Structure 1
Amino acid sequence: MAGAGSTRGLRPRRLSEETLAAAPAPGRGTVLRQRAGSAATTLWATMRPTRNRSTGYLAIGAVGALIATSVAVGVGAAGSIPRLADIGAWLGSSGSGEAAHANGLTGDVDGKVKLPGMNGHSVTIAQDGRTVLVLDRKTGKVVRIDPSQLTAEQSTNYGTSGLQLVSGGTYAYVVDAAKGTVQRIDPALTTPTGDKVQLGPGLGTAAVDSQGTLWVPQPAKGTVVPFVNGAKSAEVKVAAPDHDLVLTLAQGRPVVTDRTDAVTKVLTVAGTQQTFNLQGGINDSAPVKILVPATTDSPMMPILASDSGALALVDVTSGQSINAKVPIQGHALGAPQVLGKKVYIPDGTTGSLLVYDTATSAFQDSVNVTKKPGNLELFVRNGLLWVNDQNNSSAAVINAGGDVHTIGKYTDKVPTARKKNDKPVEDNVPSSRPTHQAQQPTRPGKGQGGNTRPPTHAPATTPPPTQAPPTTPTKNCAINWEAGCPEPQTPGTPQAQSGDGSITLTFQPASGLTPKRYLLKGVGSGQTATPSEVGPNGPFTFQVDGGACGTEFSYTVVAEYAGGAASKESKSSAPVRPCVAPGAPQSLKISNNGGGHGAKVSWKAPSGASGVTYKVTWPGGSQSTQSTSQSVTGLENSKQYDVSVSTSNAAGSGAATSGTIDLTPPDVTMNITHNDDDPDPLAIRTVASTKSGGRAGQFPSNYQGAVTVHCRTTGSSEYHPYDKVTSDVWGKISSGSGNGYVADIYLDSRFNSAVWECQ
C-alpha cells in the first residue's frame, strides 16, 4: 500500500533486567518456576524446621501459598505477564498515550499498554473482534495490542487523519470517509489485505456486525453498502440521495437512521426488513440534533433529539416505542446508551451521566464520572456500560443493577511493559483520587484517652432577626388543606409507550402531600382511559384505547388534592401514536386466474395491524389496498413473476412477504376430433402455420386418440372442408406421433376453458 509503513513481528517482551538482555527470553512458566524455586530455596535456608516444627511448617505453608498465587496470576510488576480480567475493556488515554484495561466487576485497572507515538492523540480502540486494535485518529497509525505481553508493537501506518477503524468476528477494516475508500486489513498483522474498494467520498460511520459483515453508509446515494465475507455486495437502498444517514448495530443487527426523514430502518443484505417512523417530537428536530449510539447490546435502540429533549426507545424487533422527555437546559447532551431498563445520557458540560429509569418513568441521580467538561464515550460490552473521556484520568463501569465503579486509568500499580527505570507519564497528569475528603476520625476527648484540644470559638455574629414560628395546621391535611399544610406538588411527566391500538402512560406520583386521586387529561374523541382515575396509592398507570394511527396524542396527569388545595398538572407527555409498525403479512397464497394472465394474491394480517395499508408489487406494476387480497391481471402466460406484499401504517412498515406467480399453462388431455371422414393424414406442424415451418409428425387418417394439450395460440387460418369451419387457433401438443402444433379445427381447444393461451 502506497504511503503505508508496517512493522512485522513481535519482539519478546523483556522479563528481567539487563543481566538477561542477551539471553533468550524464557517463557512465562520458566520465569515463574525460576522465581518459585529461588524463593523456596531461600525459605528453607532461613526458616527450616527446628524443635518448634509447627511454627516452621506454618511459615513455609504461607509463603508457599504466596508462591502458588504468583504462579497462578502473575506478580503484577513490570516484567511479569498479567492475567487480564475476562470481563473487561480497554480504555484510551490521550494525555498519557496509553490504553488501560479495566476489570468490569471491580473497576480496577489490571493492565496498561503504552501506545507508541500517540501521546496527546485521540484514539479508536476496536475490541469487538478476536484481536484488540488501536487507531491513532491524528496520524492513521494502526497498532495491535498483545494482551499477554502488554505491548503494542505490531503496527501499520495508513498515513492520514480522520480514518475509521472497525472490526468484528475475524474481519477488520480501515475506512477513509473523506476519500470514500474501504481497505480490509489483517487483524493480526495490521497490514492491508487485497485492494482498496472505492465507494465515493462522503461516507458515514461504518460498523461490522458479529458475522463480520461490514456496513458502510453512502449518504450521497441514499444507500448502505454491505461487505459480506470481506467482499462488496449489492447496495441497499434506504433513502433519497443526500439524506443524513447514521448506522447503529442494535443487538448485532444493522439499523440505519435517516435523520432527514426521521425514519429508522432494520437492514439485511437483501434489503430493508422493517421501518419505524420516529415520533415523540424527534420527527420535528433538526437532523444533526438526532443522536443515536453506534452500538447497543439490546434490541431497544435509544434515540435522543438534543434540541428538544425528546427521547425514544425503539424496539427493533416489535416496533414498540417508549417516549419520554429529557431536560436540556444547561446540558450538552451526547448519544444515549441503554442498559437494562435504564437510559444513560452523557452530559459534556459536567462530565456526568443523566440516568432515566423506564421502569419508574423518572430520572435518577446523575452519575459523576469526570466532574469536569469533556467528551464522554459510552459503549456496552459484556453486559456492562463503559464510560470514558480520553482526556481525563477517570472512567467508569456500570452494571445492569446501576452499580458504579470508578476507574483510575492513570494508576501506576498495575502490570505494564515499561522498562523499570522509565519515568511514568502519569506523574504529570491529574490524580484520579476522588475530590471529596474522607471524614477525619474524631479525636478522643477527656476521659476517652488522649489529650483534649481547646475548642475553637467562631467569631461573634449578629443573630438573625426573629421570625414568626411556622403555622401549625389544626386539621388533617389529607382531608382539609389549610395554611401550614405541605404545598401540593406536581406529578411526574408521563412516559408514553405505543401499542397496538393503545397508549400506556406511566408516571411518578407527586411527592409531599398525598393527592386524593390522579386524572388523565388529553383523552381524545373516540378514546377511553382505563382506569378513569388512579388512587393515591397507585398503580400509577393509565391505558388509553382507540384513536387514529395517523394522529399523535399527548397527555398530562392532574393531581387533585382534598380540602381546597389547588390541583397540580404535570408537563405534557411526548406525543405518540396508538399503533406500532406492522410486521410482515402471513400465509401468502397465490391462486392463478382461469385461463392465466394473472392471479389472486391473498394473505393474513400480521399482529399489530392497526390502520395497515398493504402494497402488492410485481414486475411492471403495484397496487395498494387495505384488504387482505388483491387481483393481479394483464400478465403474459408461460412466464413467472415475483410478487411481494408489504405492510405500512403511520408508525412505519414491515418486511415484505414474497411469492411467485407461475403462469406456466397446465397440461390438458384431449382427443383429436373431426378427423373421421378425412382420408389424408393429419399433420403435426413445427410452427402454428401451414405456410412456414415443416412437419413434426402426423396422425393417420381417422385417428381420434388422446393427446396432451399444453396451450393454444394463433397462427395461419385453416378451413375444415367437411365441417365448413374456419379458425386461426392452433393447439400445442405432445403425442406418441410427434410434438408440435395441430390446427384447432381438429382439436377444439378453443372451446375448453381449461386450456390456456400460450402467451
Structure 2
Amino acid sequence: MRPTGNHVTGYLAVCAVGTLVATSLVVGAGASGTRPSLADVGAWLASSAKGEVAHAHGLTGEVDGKAVLPGGMAGHPVSVAQDGDTTLVLDERTGRVVRIDAAQLTAEQSADYGAAGLQLVSGGAYAYVVDPAKGSVQRIDPAMTTAENPPVELGGRAGAAVADGAGTLWVPLPDSGTVVPFVKGRKGAAVEVAGAGHELALTLAGGRPVVTDLDTGVMKVLGVDGVQGSFELGDAIDGADPGEVLVPGGTDGSAVPVLAAGSGDLVVVDVRSRQTTRVRVPTQGHALGAPQLLGKRVYIPDESNGGLLVYDTSLSAPADPVRVTGGAGELELFVRDGLLWVNDQDGAAAAVIDAEGEVRRIGKYGTDAPSARQPGDGPVEDRVPTGVPGAPVPPGAGAPGGTTAPAPGPGAPSGGTPGGTPGPPTSQDPEPGAPGSPQAESRPGAIRITFAPVVGATPQRYMLKGAAAEQTVTPEEVGPEGPFVFEVRGGSCEEQYGFTVVAEYGGGKPDKESAPSALARPCVAPGAPREVTFTPAQGGHGGRVTWQPPQDASGSVKYVINGPGGTAETTEPGYTYRNLKNRSKDGVSVMASNAAGSGGAASGWIDLTPPPQQMTIVNNSDTDDSVGIRSEPTTQSGYRVGRIPGNKTDPVVQVTTVRCKVKGEEQTYEGTGEKTDVWALHTFHSPETDRDHTGYTSDIYVNSRSNPNIWDCE
C-alpha cells in the first residue's frame, strides 16, 4: 500500500480492524460488525461465469466488496437491479431472484419465479418481475424477494420495462402500441403511444419515462395522464430497420441518444430543452449496442472488439475509442451517480468513466476484496481463472487524460532548422485535407453547424455549403483558427436541410469538402402554450377556450385540445365548444406541435357553472298569498322548501338570486292568463325565517325568461 489517495484510509482501517479483533476476543462481535461499509459512489457488477457480483468504487475503480451468488447460478447470465440501498440479482436462465446484503456481503435471501427470460425492475420502494412471454407483472418484496401479489395480466407480450424513482413501473406492449403504468404497484390505464404492432423502446431519461417508436422514429415523453410531449426523429430513423435502431434503457440527464446502426445516424434529443443534435458516425463493420451519453460524449459499445466507440459532441468529431476487453463480446453499459459503468459479464474486465472522459479499469476477479468467503474456501468454479486487472488504457491522440500529440498526417513536415524555424518547403508538405463531418443542432429558428478542422495543411478559410436561398449563414466564412461554428437562420420548419463544410486552400491547391451532415430542421418542438382560459357562451352550453402560443413556437404550429368529447385539432390559438351540459366542470389541456414534435401540455377548466343573477319577484304585489319554493319544478310531486310572502299589505321590493332555469309543469297566472312551463332555480332569503331557501318557483313570479344571462340548468 502507498500513503496516497484513499490508501491512507487503508492504514487507518488496518489499525481499526486490529482493535476490533482484540475487543471481540473479550466482548464478542457479530458478523455484520466485521464487514466494511461500501463506497456510496459505486455500483455492483456481475461476473456470471464465476457466479458472483463485485462492488466497485466509482472514483477509484477499485473493488471494495464481493458477494458470491447461490450455488447453481455460476455460468448463468444474470441482471442486476440496484436502486438506493437495495440490490437484487436475477438469474435469467432460471428466474431466481437474489438480494445482496451489502453489510454482510452475502446473497442468501432469494425466491424462485421458475421461468427463463424474466425481467427484474426496481425503483423507489418497489420491485417487479416482468414475464415478457406471458405478458404479466408481479410485484415483489425487495427485502424478502418474495411475491407480494399474484401476477397481473397485461393483455399482450411485454417489451423491456423501466421503473422511475417513485416506483412507477412502465411496461411497453408492442402488439397494442401502448405503455401500461403501475403506480404504487397497481395497474393503471394504458397510454396509447404508437400504432399496433410497432416496436417500442423505453428510456428513463432524468427520471422521466420516454418511449421511442422504432418503426416511425417518434419519441414521446410520458406521464400517468398520457403523453406529455413528442419529438420527430425524422429521416435519421425513418426507414431504418427497427432492429437496428438502438436506444438505452436509461440516461443520467434529460438527453436521449438514438442510433440507427445501419446508417450511422446518431440523434441526441434533449426532452427538457427540446433541442436535437444530429450527426453521422462511422459504424460499418461494427456490431454495436445501445449508445450511452455522459457529459458531452456519446459512448457506443462495439461488441465486435469489446470496446467503445466515442463521439465528442463538443468537438463535433469522433474521439479515440476505449478498449475494455480486447476481444469480441457483449458489454453492459449504464449510468449511475454521474458515472458511466462498462461491464463484461463473461470476463474479468470492467471500467468506469467520468464526465470528463477519464477511464478507470476495474479488475473484478481480484482476490483481495472483502467477501463472505471464509479462509480456505475454494473457488466457486475451478475452471474459471481468477485473473488480474488488465493493463491501463493507453492514452491515445486526443484521448481524455492523454498527453500524446496527434500523429502527423500524410506529408506532415518533419524537418526544421535549429531553434524551431521551419525548413524550406519539401515534397512532404502536408496534403490538403477535408474537414470533419458537420454536426447539426436544431435550435429555435436556426440550425447550428459545428465541425472538426482539417488535420494537416492549413486552409485559408472554411465555407458552408448547402444553405437554401431563404437562409442566411453567419459568419460568411470561418478562419483557420476557428471557432469552427456556423449558424444558419431561416428556412422552413417543415423542411430538413443538410450541409457540408468546404476547406478552401488557394494557391492552386484543391478545395476539400466534408462528408454531408445529417438532416436537421431550423426549429425545435414548441413548448407548452400559456394562459389557458375559458369564456362561456351566453346561456352556457359551451364557450371558447383560448391560450397564448408558446414563446419559441416556429413553423406551422398545430394545437391538440383534449377536453369534453375527446381530442380536437386546430391551427388557431383557440377552440369553441358547443352542446355541452351546463352545471358541469371539465378539465381541458392544450399541446402545441410542429414538424419537430410537440412540447408539454397546458391545462385549464371548462367551467359551465351558471353565473347567479339578481331578479325581482313579479306578480306578487296584489295578493297576500305566498308563492311556493319547491324541491322540484312541479306542484304534483316533491315538497315545499320555503315560501315567498304575499306582497299586498306592505309592499316591498322582493329580490332573489336566480341560479338557472328549467322546463317543468305549465302554470297560468290568473291575473293576466299568462302561461309558462319555465321554472327558476333560485335562492330566496326569507324575512320570516332569516334563512336562505333554495328551490324551484314558476317563472310567472320570477320572469327569468327575460334575462339572457340566466342559463338553462342542464
Distance, in Å, in 1 between the alignment partners of 2:694 and 2:288 is: 77
Q: TM-score, length-normalised on structure 2? A: 0.85
| 1:636 corresponding residue in structure 2 | 581
In structure 2, the CA distance between the partners of 1:103 and 1:436, relative to structure 1 (3 Å rule), is closer
**Mapped pair 1:417 → 2:368:** no
In the other structure, the counterpart of 2:516 is 572
Query: What CA deviation, in whole Å up to 9, does each residue of 1:655-711 have, x standing for no partner?
Result: 322222222222212222345557876565655457777766455264662222222
Classify 1:34/1:332 alpha carbon distance in 2 versus 1 (closer, same or farther; 3 Å).
Answer: closer
Deviations 1:372-428 (A, max 9, x none): 000011011122111111112211111111111112222223333334333434774
Residues in 1 aligned to 2:165 and 2:414: alpha-carbon distance in whole angstroms: 66
Of the three residues 700, 719, 735, the one matched with 2:646 is 700
Match of 2:478 among 529, 534, 537: 534
The answer on whether the counterparts of 1:129 and 1:171 sit within 8 Å (CA) in structure 2 is no
1:654 positional shift: 2.2
5 Å matches for 1:467-616?
485-611=429-555, 612-616=557-561
TM-score by length of 1: 0.80
Cα-to-partner distance string for 1:321-343 (whole Å, 9 max, x where unaligned): 11111111110111011111111
Match of 1:6 in 2: none
Q: State how far apart, in whole Å, the 2-side matches of 1:365 and 1:129 are.
A: 33
Contact 1:238/1:272, CA 8 A, preserved across alignment: yes
Aligned to 1:94: 48
Q: SS state of the match for residue 630, structure 1?
A: strand
Aligned AA (2:711) = W
Which one is further off, 423-432 or 523-532?
Answer: 423-432
Q: What residue in structure 2 maps to residue 50 of structure 1?
A: none
* Deviations 1:267-314, CA, capped at 9 Å, x for gaps: 222222111122351233122211111111111111111111111111
- Contact 2:199-2:215 at 8 Å conserved across structures: yes
For 2:66, which of 108, 112, 134 is the aligned residue? Answer: 112
What is the DSSP-based 3-state SS (H/G/I as helix, E as strand, rest coil) of the residue aligned with 1:190? coil
Partner of 1:445: none
2:118 maps to 163
- Aligned equivalents of 1:394 and 1:113: distance in 2? 17
In structure 1, what is the equivalent of residue 251 of structure 2?
A: 296
CA RMSD of aligned residues (A): 3.3
* 1:710 equivalent among 659, 672, 675: 659
Segment of structure 1 superposing worse, 398-407 or 488-497: 398-407
Q: Hey, what does 2:312 align to over in structure 1? A: 357
| 1:232-311 equivalence runs, <5 A | 232-279=187-234, 281-311=236-266
Aligned match of 1:731: 680
Query: 1:523 Cα shift?
Result: 0.9
How big is each residue's C-alpha offset from its partner over 1:718-750, in whole Å with a ceiling of 9 and x where there is no partner?
555655655444433333566544444444332
Report if aligned partners of 2:353, 2:359 keep a CA contact under 8 Å in 1: yes
The DSSP-based 3-state class of the residue aligned with 1:735 is: strand
2:345 maps to amino acid: Q
Indicate how the Cα distance of structure 1 residues 190 and 757 shifts in structure 2: closer, same or farther if over 3 A, else same.
Answer: closer
1:183 corresponds to 2:134:
no
Work out whether residues 349 and 390 of structure 2, in 8 Å CA contact, stay in contact via their aligned partners in 1: no
The amino acid that maps onto 1:547 is: G
Distance 1:410 1:85, change over 3 A: same
Asked whether the equivalents of residues 98 and 115 of structure 1 are also in contact (C-alpha less than 8 Å), the reply is: yes
Task: Give 2:355's aligned residue.
Answer: 400
Match of 1:340 in 2: 295
The separation in 1 between residues aligned to 2:98 and 2:638, in whole angstroms, is 74
Gaps of 5+ in 2: 1-13, 395-412, 417-421, 687-692
Question: What whole-Å deviation, never above 9, does each CA across 1:622-673 have from its counterpart, x for those lacking one?
Answer: 5433332233222232222332222111111223222222222222122223
1:429 aligns to 2:385 (yes or no): yes
Q: Distance in 1 between matches of 2:163 and 2:619?
A: 72
Q: Which residue of 2 aligns with 1:625?
A: 570
Q: Is the 8 A contact 1:280 1:324 kept in 2?
A: no
Q: Does the alignment pair 1:383 with 2:327?
A: no
Q: Do the aligned partners of residues 489 and 581 (structure 1) sit closer, same or farther apart at CA in structure 2, a change above 3 Å counting?
A: same
Aligned counterpart, 1:13: none
Asked if the contact 1:215/1:224 (under 8 Å) is kept, the reply is: yes
Mapped contact 1:95–1:429 kept (Cα < 8 A): no
Question: SS at the partner of 1:591?
Answer: strand
Residues 315 and 36 from structure 1, CA distance in 2 versus in 1: closer, same or farther, beyond 3 angstroms?
same
Deviations 1:155-176 (A, max 9, x none): 2222221111122222222221
With over 3 angstroms needed to count, the CA separation of the structure-2 counterparts of 1:437 and 1:723, relative to structure 1, is closer
| 1:584-619 deviation per Cα after TM superposition (whole angstroms, max 9, x unaligned) | 211211122222222221212223211321123322
Q: Which moved more, 1:687-696 or 1:157-166?
A: 687-696
Q: Do 2:359 and 2:393's aligned partners in 1 also have CA atoms closer than 8 Å?
A: no
> Could you tell me how far apart the structure 2 residues matched to 1:300 and 1:247 are?
13
Of residues 266, 273, 277 in structure 2, which corresponds to 1:322? 277
Kindly tell me: are residues 93 and 162 of structure 1, through their superposed partners in 2, closer, same or farther at Cα, counting changes over 3 Å? Answer: same
In 2, the alpha carbon distance for the partners of 1:437 and 1:87 equals: 22
Q: 1:170 to 1:745 in 2, by over 3 A?
A: closer
- Closer/same/farther in 2, CA of residues 679 and 389 from structure 1, 3 Å limit: closer
Aligned-partner Cα distance in 2 for 1:489–1:335: 32
The one-character-per-residue Cα deviations of 1:549-573 (angstroms, maximum 9, x if unpaired) are 1211111111111112111111111
- In 1, the alpha carbon distance for the partners of 2:655 and 2:166 equals 58
> Could you tell me how far apart the structure 1 residues matched to 2:348 and 2:194 are?
42
Quick one: structure 1 residues 736 and 92, their matched pair in 2 at CA, closer, same or farther if it must change by over 3 Å? closer
Aligned pairs for 1:651-690 (under 5 A) are 651-676=596-621, 687-688=632-633
CA displacement 1:515-536 (0-9 Å, x = unmatched) = 1111111112322111121122
Q: Offset at 1:246?
A: 1.6
Q: Which amino acid aligns with 2:68?
A: K
- Partner SS for 1:301: strand
Q: Distance in 2 between matches of 1:733 and 1:35?
A: 86
What is the identity, as a one-letter code, of the residue corresponding to 1:429? P
**Match of residue 590 from structure 2:** 645
Q: Which residue in the other structure is 2:57 paired with?
A: 103
Work out the CA distance in 2 between the residues paired with 1:35 and 1:741.
Answer: 88
Task: Describe the shift of the 1:369–1:675 C-alpha distance in structure 2 as closer, same or farther (beyond 3 A).
Answer: same
After alignment, is 366-375 or 547-556 more displaced? 547-556
Which stretch shows the higher mean deviation, 147-156 or 131-140? 147-156
SS for the counterpart of 1:311 is strand
Contact 1:362 1:492 in 2 (8 A): yes
CA distance in 2, matches of 1:734, 1:147: 69
- The residue identity in structure 2 corresponding to 1:711 is C
Give the 3-state SS of the residue equivalent to 1:127 in structure 2.
Answer: strand
Instruction: Tell me if structure 1 keeps the 8 A contact 2:89–2:99.
Output: yes
Q: Is the 8 A contact 2:291 2:301 kept in 1?
A: yes
Aligned-partner residue type, residue 192 of structure 1: A
CA contact (8 A) 2:675 2:700 kept: yes
After superposition, the Cα gap between the structure-2 partners of 1:527 and 1:745, relative to the gap in structure 1 and judged at 3 Å, is same
Q: Which amino acid aligns with 1:755?
A: I
State the SS of the aligned residue for 1:106. Answer: coil
